[in-house]
Amino acid sequence: MAERKLFGTDGIRGLANAYPLDVETAVKTGKAAAKIFRREESRPVFVIARDTRSSGVVLEAAISAGLCAMGAEVRLIGVMPTPAAAVAAKMIDADAGIVITASHNPPEDNGIKFFSNKGVKLPDEKELEIERLILEDPLDTSHITGAAVGKIVCEDFKPQFSEFIALTTERDSLKDMKVALDCANGAASPVAGDIFKNLASDVIVVNDAPSGTNINKDCGAMYPENSSKFVAESEADIGFTFDGDADRLITLDENGSVVDGDITIFLLALYYKSKGWLKNDTVVVTQYTNLAVDAELKKLGISAVRVANGDRYVIEEMLKNDYSLGGEKSGHIILGNYNTTGDGILAAVHFARMVKESGKPLSELAGQIELFPQVIDKVEVSEKRPFGEISGFSELKQRAESRLGDNGRFYVRYSGTQNVCRIMVEGPDRQMLEEINEEAKKVIAAGA
């Protein structure tokens, strides 16, 4: 596969108004997408959603201009969660969906990601095709004039998305349950509270007042510990924190304690199996998922299939083998019976229903599994050099694997969206894990 220059693991992402998130490149991105999806006899149709970053309005205008200049029709659904764009693309039979978001990144960043008309992130080959056009094609639009120019339609998709989620469960499924939500001042803000209020008797929402510059700022799924006091003092049965585009969630129990993302996946797998919804008795996870999850699920007749890190790879595996549940430790949960991408609000509704039906507090349910100690860290890098080229890395890896033996793992990878290297060390001795992690950070920081 050709080397990517613009697209990372989750679309194009970077500092807003700096290449490749500048206006000129955004216009080209719109033109390139329209050219690829253009049909012989009719206009290509695109759905565009965005998160709450102030730069999103500018990028929305630029991408829309590029699409229309190439003759496409644009349906703007405004500030909505990423999964809403996937649902909208399927619901209105658009050619593709576009989301302007940098997800969990800080407010000054932004990004562009694409979905097919099946609501699935585009395959690598299609993204590379768009990238090639942006970089190499003149993208001439002089032949598209007058009535051939595209049009922009603004639509309120909130009622349809709310109804989509409501139809996946019974209307009173969360009755008499108290739920606390942290919307990260992001894309969940306009919809999450209303969705839960229609299903639960008591809902408390915080961080649902986006300013354009406060998305993910000390709140939401990136800082779930900041919601601990709020959840506990509100006497909620459960708390959920979303990230900037609401495609992931982190859960808190009734005491305000953060529930590890691996435990969330584990409990949903048990619930799905008990309901007969877990296709092939299999859940799809990633390399970051704690080994205890595999071991405990195996005892209960459930297989865990591991794929590369990234929700797109989880989804690909689920679609390929018709699995119904997958997820990442970071909070991406894919409920394949309903959606084809990570959906924080949908997953929160189903997880809350699981807790309510159990009749037990979440803290007790979470105690069913004890995770192996893990240290997960990151180190900033100036360039993403192959690990084999970093001085001392091979020796470091050898020492780490020798110390951990068969009871642990040492795993490193570069982020697909930021200039950081992510480190994961797992094993029975936490002090040893900390030592290996610190050594890894020093070696990688010095050489990358």
Amino acid code (one letter) for 148: A
Among candidate residues 55, 64, 103, 116, the one labeled active-site is 103
Phi and psi at residue 162, in whole multiples of 5°? Answer: -60, -40
Establish whether 245 is an annotated binding residue.
yes
Describe the crossing of helices 393-404 and 430-447 by its angle, rounded to 10 degrees: 170
Place of tokens 């793992």: 409
How far from each other are the two terminal CA atoms of the chain, in whole angstroms? 23
Helix ranges, 137-257 (H): 158-166, 192-197, 228-233
Token pair recorded at residue 224: 């779930």
Q: What share of the chain is helix, strand, coil (3-state, %, to 5)?
A: 40, 25, 40
The residues, ordered by sequence, that sit 6+ positions from 107 with a Cβ below 8 Å of its Cβ are 53, 212, 213, 214, 215, 216, 217
Amino acid code (one letter) for 157: F
CB hemisphere CA count around 239 (13 angstroms): 32
Q: Reply yes or no on whether 201 is catalytic.
A: no
Angle at 11 between CA 78 and CA 26, to 5 degrees: 60
Establish whether 247 is an annotated binding residue.
yes
**Angstrom distance (rounded) from CA 46 to CA 72:** 7
Four-residue CA torsion sign, 277, 283, 284, 285:
positive
Amino acid code (one letter) for 12: I
Token pair recorded at residue 62: 């630029």
406, burial (CB in 10 Å: exposed 0-12, middle 13-18, buried 19+) = exposed
The residues, ordered by sequence, that sit 6+ positions from 302 with a Cβ below 8 Å of its Cβ are 269, 270, 273, 278, 281, 282, 283
SS (H, E, C) 10-38: CEEEEECCCCCCCHHHHHHHHHHHHHHHC
Containing 259, the helix (H) or strand (E) segment is strand 258-259
Beta-bridge partner residues of 258? 252
For strand 249-252 and strand 258-259, is the pairing parallel, antiparallel, or unpaired?
Answer: antiparallel
Annotated binding site: 103, 243, 245, 247
Q: Which residues are catalytic?
A: 103
Annotated binding site for Mg(2+): 103, 243, 245, 247
